[in-house]
Amino acid sequence: MKQRPTIPIQTREEAVAALAAHDALQEARRMEKQVNAAAAAMEEASLEDLRRKRIAELQSKQSKALEWRAKGHGFYTEVSDQKHWFEATKASERTVTHFYRPTTPLCELVDAHLTKIAANHVETKFLKINAEKSPFLCDRMDITVLPTVVMLKDGNICDKIIGFETVPNLNKCSTEDFERRLAFNGAIDYEGDPRRPKGEGARKEFSVTNIRKSKLHRGTVDTYSDDEDDD
């Protein structure tokens, strides 16, 4: 046991006060150690909790990615007819469909962009369909210009890229800029603000104004499908 320090004493009151001060200091130090130990334990528990949450998030993402790939995500796939298009779009939460014509050179450029983007965005299903063989879809979604890219979220049209209307100088657009344009209304996941171009060479023509000028024929996949069945 530690000995209390020898303190010069002149009066009994001074001795009592000195001993009380020494005891108070020792108690304060003990309390400080207890608080520090409790804080360290809380910090360790908090870090462990964060670690468990992070692992759970990663496991959830991995499970979701496997589910998406089982549905054909990660590839740019052509559907042969309108029936298969309905089946494909109903099976996925988000889809991007390129309505193309084989004789339109610009459609080949869009194909090249979407092939690369599809491989990096398994959260969305990427499709293409020959517009000339899809008169019902083109009529119901007001597709009159090719190429047109239609984006769906939960069966609803959330955005369109209509030739040069929403992407000026589409023939000079990079894959990175095309990817950014797809993210404007959430068709794909994107880190950062897709409306803010990255780098000096990024295209600045993509803007909210361009989106608002798009003619979105809003509706659900079920609505289009039901109408087709009635025809």
CATH of the domain at 127: 3.40.30.10
Helices (H), 130-218: 135-140, 175-182, 208-213
Q: How many other β-carbons are positioned within 10 Å of the β-carbon of residue 25?
A: 10
> What pLDDT, in 10s, does the model give residues 57-73?
888 888 888 899 888 99
Answer yes or no: is 181 within a domain: yes
155 pLDDT higher than 70: yes
Mean pLDDT of 90-103: 96
- Domain count for the chain: 2
93 pLDDT higher than 90: yes
> What pLDDT, in 10s, does the model give residues 134-153?
999 999 999 999 999 999 99
Place of tokens 């298009």: 85
With bands split at pLDDT 50, 70 and 90, how would you rate the model's confidence at 216? very low
Shared domain for 86 and 116, answered yes or no, is: yes
User: What pLDDT does 130 receive?
Assistant: 98
Shared domain for 127 and 168, answered yes or no, is: yes
d(CA 63, CA 43): 30
Domain containing 80: what range?
A: 72-230
Place of tokens 């069945």: 229
Answer yes or no: is 2 within a domain: no
d(CA 210, CA 161): 10
Answer yes or no: is 5 within a domain: no
213 pLDDT higher than 50: no
Are 90 and 82 in contact by the 8 Å Cβ rule? The answer is no
Mean pLDDT of 192-211: 59
Are 100 and 148 in contact by the 8 Å Cβ rule? The answer is no
